[in-house]
Chains A and B, each alone.
Chain A
Amino acid sequence: MTPLETFRRISQDPLAALTEWTEDRGLPAVGTNCSCVPEEIIWASGALPFRLLGLSLKTTLADRHLPAFCCSPVKTILEDGLSGSLRDLSGTAFAAGCDSMQRLSDIWRLNVPQGFHLDLELPAKLSKPASLDYLQAVLRRFHQDLLGSLGLKEDGSALPRAIELFNELRARLQELARLRRDRPGCLSGADFLAVSLAAQVMDRAQGITRLDELLAGLKGPPADEGNSLPRLALAGSPCLLPRMISLIEECPARVVADDLCTGERFFHGHVEETADPYEALARRLAARPPCPAKHAGLEARTGFLLQQIKDSQAQGVVLAALKFCDPQGFDIPHIQEVLAAEGLPCLTLELEEQRFAEEQLRTRCQAFVERLEP
């Protein structure tokens, strides 16, 4: 199997990767709800960090706990928990995010029987020194609670080793992101997303090896890769939809950058390896491109997006907001305004992951791409 096929397979069936880790190797795995959960701490505790992506296509069980005005990630993650499809997890770690995710954490704790459940009550404000101190304290507590839940004792060298490993993983994903900017045709946007999603659920050491192989293969001589097609940046709510990205690219166009917590935001930055590990982890989390549910200054998010657009020479932005995603909903008008002031075209889409009107979306994307300069 080629490295790309491995990433595609894992992103399409993350549960197989989970089973392989827990059953074949007999090791624990911990579900995480958000890219803000410090995966290094889970890895250092001997467990696989497994991002809960919301895999269910129907939400019959979750609908008994959540009203209709709830976003699809929250509903599908709960459905996965209630249906038993995540029974291989030893427990879950939920980071404080938006209101919906915070209530999901409570509903999960009260209703999903398997494993332990830990809350990381992270700060929402990331722009002040007090927040950084508090964030460090939360990470320390989380590590102790996690070790206690797994019945393990602390190994002083495990966290620095895990930080090194995750830095290596991030460095490779960042290289892949650079590659799609420089030669956007070398890897489709859907495949880029597949790699990023797989890297949040698979054995990370294996992930590094397969990424090395993938990168080596992509560095070959450039073919006619469609590098001259219109270049787009993608921003918005968590995206799990390779098909949506394919539709954009079929217009034709190329996604050359993203501001998604399942994409570049997930692997952004580097954890300082010589500092106190908790402080270093906290610094990376606070310095990441801000999740819309966090506050890092009034222009932090648009500033990051504009920088990305500049670096990637994107000609326009697709702003994909999930229905009922409040943090995203509040940001939309301001992002549109900032982009308009910069003369950057923007297509805003409202999506529900289980109800994906493909043809309608295709028409809108095509009309948008036609507006862009060749």
Chain B
Amino acid sequence: MTQTGANSGHGGGSRKTRAAKRMKEIMTEYYLEAMSAGDSGKKVAWITSGGPVEPLLAMDVIPIYPENHSAMIGASKMGADFCAQAEVLGYPRDLCSYARADIACSRSGGGPIGGLPRPDMLICCTNICSTVLKWYEVQARFFQAPLFILDTPLCHGELTREAEAYARQQIDEYIAFLEGVLGRPFDFERLEEVGRLSIQAQRLWREVLQTAVHSPAPLSAFDAFFHLALIVTLRGTQVCVDYYGQLLSELQKRIDQGIGAVFQEKYRLIWDNLPVWPRTKWLSETFASRGACLVADTYTAAWCSTLDLLDESDFLSSMAGAYSRIHLNLGLDRMAETIIQLLDFYRADGLVMHSNRSCKPYSFGQYDIQRLVQDRTGLPVVILEADMVDDRAFAESQVETRIEAFMEMLEQR
């Protein structure tokens, strides 16, 4: 989700992939096409990162992800400035920094790619948080663009029959919404093809992430943060499938050659929560210089976590259950279970949790998850306080001290 992710070089030893170059080309083409949508007659939809993009692609609408853009703002170290601008507009400093950065950039322009193309519609799915509901209300008013909300109630326990039926009903509402905005009938045949490609891309994404099961891990979570961009924005396209195919074969070569993402991998760790975009390089280097590789994370894993619930032969119906059950839309004990599975699968030595001021659904309950994980696995856990975009909330020396203490704990085990 960033142009300047982990692959732009870790002093600690991570290595670039050839696919990274291709990623930059694809993302440049993607944004250029979106910027010139007015000339090509295509419509632009802004959509939340957990939202079902496939119906948009089936209707030839260009999906744009404000979260992705805010991540770029953060990685470009422009986050504090945009967030401060939002505060001048009256938005409190405690609100999500993705939202603050996006709201401010929409009004003032600028940013790492000169702002986003104006939306013709907004698609908001609440499966990642309730914050997006408010954020998209703000933007729908500002752009005077139609807003569709896919409401996926949080599953504290199991997804209820009623909640799944509700989500399914809303998929039909979504299709009717698109037909209304675009003025043409929905292309169900095309959706089948997009659905097939989406499943294929998610399968490849899972394989890419799971290459880190090898020791040394050929990619780190910091690499995954970078490579994530396409599975978020372009799943359901051939270009996405081809990209992850290329990346996977590169990673397999690394495995064959025993090349790790981190030079002399000594410790294997799992990351929880969103990245600290302005500090991914610093964090990557800080961990790598101590021989620690963050081999997996809960964030990037979310884009293939419901793969097994998707049905190629009935993509439309299976979307409802799958989009309702993503990591952030589950109860805390289920989230802890996912982390425990990651720790086990990747044979990890510990857990690093980012207590993210911007993301309450991800960060509230982390102390309980920490306790559940420690009780079950006995592995050490460290919590780092930061923010995903607004680097005013990042105290480098404090974070470094915590990491040092954590690494000492690992060394003594």
Q: Chain A residues in contact with chain B, CB under 8 A? A: 64-67, 69-70, 96, 98-100, 102-107, 109-111, 119, 121-125, 128, 130-131, 133-134, 137-138, 141, 292-293, 295, 298, 321, 323-324, 326-327, 329-334, 336, 348, 350
Q: Is the Cβ of B367 less than 8 Å from the Cβ of A330?
A: no
B134 contacts which of A65, A109, A110, A331 (Cβ < 8 Å)?
A331
The answer for the CA separation of A326 and B367 in the assembled complex, in Å, is: 21
Q: A109-B156, A137-B162, A293-B133 are in contact. List 4 more A-B contacts (CB 8 A).
A: A105-B156, A121-B160, A329-B94, A333-B91
Sort chain B's interface into a size bin: 35 or more
Q: Is the Cβ of A96 less than 8 Å from the Cβ of B154?
A: yes
Q: Is the Cβ of B140 less than 8 Å from the Cβ of A298?
A: yes
Please, what's the 1-or-0 string for B148-170, where 1 marks a CB less than 8 Å from any CB in chain A? 01010111110010110110011
Q: Is the Cβ of A103 less than 8 Å from the Cβ of B163?
A: no
B90 at the binding interface (Cβ < 8 Å):
yes
B286 at the binding interface (Cβ < 8 Å):
no
B89 at the binding interface (Cβ < 8 Å):
yes
B99 at the binding interface (Cβ < 8 Å):
yes
Q: Is the Cβ of B151 less than 8 Å from the Cβ of A329?
A: no
Nearest chain A CB to B17 CB, angstrom units:
35
Q: Is the Cβ of B361 less than 8 Å from the Cβ of A119?
A: no
B135 at the binding interface (Cβ < 8 Å):
yes
The answer for the CA separation of A106 and B96 in the assembled complex, in Å, is: 21
Nearest chain B CB to A320 CB, angstrom units:
13
A131 contacts which of B99, B151, B364 (Cβ < 8 Å)?
B151
Contacts of B91 in A (CB 8 A): 329-330, 332-333
With A99-B129, A103-B365, A125-B151 given, is the CB distance from A133 to B169 under 8 Å?
yes
Contacts of A96 in B (CB 8 A): 153-154
The answer for the CA separation of A111 and B151 in the assembled complex, in Å, is: 28
Nearest chain A CB to B354 CB, angstrom units:
11
Contacts of A110 in B (CB 8 A): 332-333, 368, 372
Contacts of B147 in A (CB 8 A): 298
Nearest chain B CB to A285 CB, angstrom units:
14
Q: Is the Cβ of B163 less than 8 Å from the Cβ of A121?
A: yes
The answer for the CA separation of A100 and B126 in the assembled complex, in Å, is: 14
B141 at the binding interface (Cβ < 8 Å):
yes
Q: Is the Cβ of B332 less than 8 Å from the Cβ of A106?
A: yes
The 8 closest A-B pairs by CB, nearest first: A330-B134, A333-B90, A103-B364, A134-B166, A137-B162, A121-B153, A106-B332, A125-B151
Nearest chain A CB to B336 CB, angstrom units:
9
Q: Is the Cβ of A121 less than 8 Å from the Cβ of B155?
A: yes
Q: Is the Cβ of A102 less than 8 Å from the Cβ of B130?
A: yes
The answer for the CA separation of A98 and B355 in the assembled complex, in Å, is: 18
Q: Is the Cβ of B133 less than 8 Å from the Cβ of A295?
A: yes
B399 at the binding interface (Cβ < 8 Å):
no
Contacts of B245 in A (CB 8 A): none
B338 at the binding interface (Cβ < 8 Å):
no
The answer for the CA separation of A247 and B190 in the assembled complex, in Å, is: 62
Residue of B nearest to A121 (CB): B153
Q: Is the Cβ of B173 less than 8 Å from the Cβ of A298?
A: no
User: Which residues of B347-365 are within 8 A (CB) of A?
Assistant: 355, 357, 360-361, 363-365
Residue of A nearest to B135 (CB): A330
B141 contacts which of A70, A102, A298, A324 (Cβ < 8 Å)?
A298
User: Which residues of B79-129 are within 8 A (CB) of A?
Assistant: 89-92, 94-96, 99, 126, 129
